[in-house]
Amino acid sequence: MGKTIVEKILGKHAGKDVRPGDIVDVVIDARVARDFGGANVVKNIRDNSLSVADPVKTFFTFDCNPGGSDQRYAENQQLCRLFARETGIEICDINAGIGTHLAMDRGMVCPGETFVSTDSHANIMGAIGAFGQGMGDQDIAHAFAFGTVWFKVPPTVKVRVEGQPAANATPKDVTLALCKHFGANGLLGFAAELYGPYVDQLDVPGRITLASMCTEMGGIIVLFPPNQVVLDFCEQASGRKVEPVYADPDAEYADDITVSINGIGPMVARPGHPDDAVPTSEVASTKVDSVFIGSCTNGRYEDLVAAARVLEGRKVAPGVVLKVVPATDEVWRRLLNEGVVKTFKDAGALFGNAGCAGCAAGQIGQNGPGEVTVSTGNRNFPGKQGKGSVYLASPETAAASAVAGVIATRDAIPAEPVRFAQPKPAKEITAARAEARSPSVERPTKIKGRVWRIAQDNIDTDMIYHNRYLTITDLAEMGQYTFDNLEGWEDFAKKVKPGDIVVTGKNFGCGSSRQQAVDCFKALGVAAIVAESFGAIYERNAINAGFAIMAADTSASDIADGEEVEIDFRTGKIRRVAGGQEIAGTPVSEAQLAIYQRGGLFAARGN
């Protein structure tokens, strides 16, 4: 009995005849860990005293957060770099691009070969007739250490794609139509082989687009029998002779499915579900806040050129943000050399370094609450690309929407962009806000509390509240991070009680201007901070926030943790409750005291 493509590939790499349902150890030709998950791969290897089986076939690809703008990503990347230096593993570093694309473009994997990565879209390798899988940290660590992973041979369905789409349709539109046909789980647990005239003529980027969204249909992998274009691409990329794998004429399939794409035009997947795809006309005129063009699904050279053609001679609509991120640095450079980057910049786009960007929580492409985004990515699950709503579309539709200001196709861009609604008159807004402000409650000018004595000068704002938490805007969340970057005081937030007082040294709060370094104490209920002196900006921030601070020279005193003191802000005196001794400080000025008493700079003022 004949074999399907996946059965042939897995059987060859398992060294035995395989059938669907068999569980076999499979030799992996290319093993990849990304900056997301890479650190845990290293941890698994080190914790189990393992070594790397074959560094030549093992890679790190830093594509999720190329800028390392998130501290955790930066830490993970550096840990992986150090491990790579020890072991000889090659790193495709932050300037290289998306790992799955690099694997194809650099010939790490070719038709008939195997690939695993800490990337759920590693099955994109089906575009070139190779077997790829996304796996967890332990699986990838095993592949690093032993060169193999176990795998259950999936059954295969044969999908015959019939007809031709409309002239203005793209591979992304066909892909969304297939997602609609199969739903989120229509290919669950299956490998699929695609056939038909439309499939046969698809170039490499088109196949990549379709293969990348197999995961969104629940599939193990969508495999394209390689055509000559694919074979030429892979041989040039790898510098070696490629041996494609095709299914036998008498291969046995779990199902034989025919899907018609005849006449399909531009499609859009509505927020929350990649399979909730509808003709673009059904959501046309939906107001758009931002557009993202990129990802492993649509970040190739051809994708971005198609978008640029729509933008040529046009401008992004007022108030709309367009973010463009190429898949690889090679794509980036080609676009730069051919003047395509200029087209994007002239249109008003932010053009970023190669990588996954917002699709993988990177620094470009995320959206905020209430923000409506048109994205060329593969997923629009809630929270996947931020806290807003994401519509999935082709590069052409995305570019057209950026220009139109609403969801639009490239052949239906209005003469004038749709603008955001005009704001209310300033007087009306001011009156409404003034009416909503609650009256202030006058606060005491004399307080008593338990001391936390931190005998240290120059405690800066990063020690108080590290910059990795600066995106937090809810005061209630801030307290837990107070002093977690100050050596010896990392557990302060767990031990402090409301009403406690911090007594510290000179220049407290030096460094950046971050308000959170004040607000974190308010969140914990800290009553006041007494320091020998304060950083100038910190002092202003505290006063304006209605947070009690006072300068006093406590260096000569033996005030200790846990004792109780009473502070009089008007006189500037600190009285130690146990012994009655007084320490002279600087009285708080009447102007500053008035701000403190009413609860902050913007608290309601009396008549």
User: What value does the mean pLDDT of the chain take?
Assistant: 94
Mean per-residue pLDDT for 69-76? 81
Instruction: Identify the domain boundary among 233, 260, 287.
Output: 260
Res 428: pLDDT: 64
Percentage with pLDDT > 70 across the chain: 96
Residues 588 and 467 both lie in one domain: yes
Q: What confidence tens digit (pLDDT) does each residue in 302-350 have? A: 999 999 999 999 999 999 999 999 999 999 999 999 999 999 999 999 9
On whether both 311 and 236 belong to a single domain, the answer is no
- Domain boundaries, position 60: 5-260
In total, how many domains does the chain have? 3
pLDDT in tens, 355-386: 998 787 677 888 999 999 999 999 999 888 88
Mean pLDDT for 48-75 is 88
Task: Choose between 428 and 439: higher pLDDT.
Answer: 428
Asked whether residue 409 is assigned to any structural domain, the reply reads no
Whether residues 479 and 397 share a domain: the answer is: no
**DSSP-derived secondary structure letter, 113:** -
**Residue 385 within a domain:** yes
Strands (E), 491-534: 501-504, 528-531
What predicted TM-score, i.e. pTM, was given to this entire model?
Answer: 0.85
Q: Is residue 418 part of a domain?
A: no
**Gap between the Cα atoms of 398 and 375, Å rounded:** 7
DSSP alpha helices (H): ranges in 28-96? 38-47, 71-87
Looking at the fold, whether 100 and 145 belong to one and the same domain comes out as yes
Structure tokens at 295: 């990802």
Of the candidate ranges 116-120, 300-304, 467-471, the one whose mean pLDDT is the lowest: 467-471
- In sequence order, the 6+-apart residues with CB closer than 8 A to the CB of 172 are 209, 267, 297, 298, 376, 393, 394, 395
Q: What pLDDT, on a 0 to 100 scale, did the predictor assign at position 561?
A: 92
Helix (H) or strand (E) holding 160: strand 156-162
pLDDT of residue 466: 92
pLDDT, tens digit (0-9, with 9 covering 90-100), for 2-40: 999 999 999 999 999 999 999 999 999 999 999 888 999
What would the two tokens of residue 297 be? 């699904």
User: Domain for residue 606, yes or no?
Assistant: no
* Distance between CA atoms of residues 240 and 248, nearest Å: 25
Confidence grade of residue 168 (pLDDT, cut at 50, 70, 90): very high
In this structure, how many other beta carbons lie within 10 angstroms of the beta carbon of residue 99?
A: 30
- Residue 427 placed within a domain: no
Region 454-463: mean pLDDT is 95
Among 8-17, 425-434, 516-525, the minimum mean pLDDT is found in 425-434
Residue 563: CATH number of its domain:
3.20.19.10
pLDDT of residue 68: 65
Q: Are residues 209 and 275 in the same domain?
A: no
For 73-89, the pLDDT digits (tens) are 888 999 999 999 999 99
Residue 431 lies in a domain: no
pLDDT of 292 > 90? The answer is yes
The yes-or-no verdict on residue 607 having pLDDT over 70 is: no
SS3 content of the chain, % helix, strand, coil (to 5): 35, 20, 45
Look at residue 74 in the predicted model and tell me its pLDDT.
Answer: 87
Q: Quick one: which of 394, 297, 302, 292 has its CA closest to 340? A: 302
**In a 3-state reduction of DSSP, which class is residue 198?**
helix
CATH of the domain at 98: 3.30.499.10
Do residues 407 and 280 touch, judged by C-beta distance below 8 A?
Answer: yes
Which pLDDT does position 300 carry in this prediction? 98
Q: Do residues 10 and 137 share a domain?
A: yes
pLDDT of residue 539: 95
**Residue 556 pLDDT more than 90?**
no
Which two structure tokens, joined as six digits, stand for 500?
């406690």
The Cα–Cα gap between 601 and 78 comes to 43
Spatial CB neighbours of 325, under 8 Å, sequence gap ≥ 6:
292, 293, 294, 295, 299, 351, 352, 353, 354, 355, 356, 357, 358, 362, 364, 365
pLDDT (tens digit per residue) in 439-458: 556 789 999 999 999 999 99
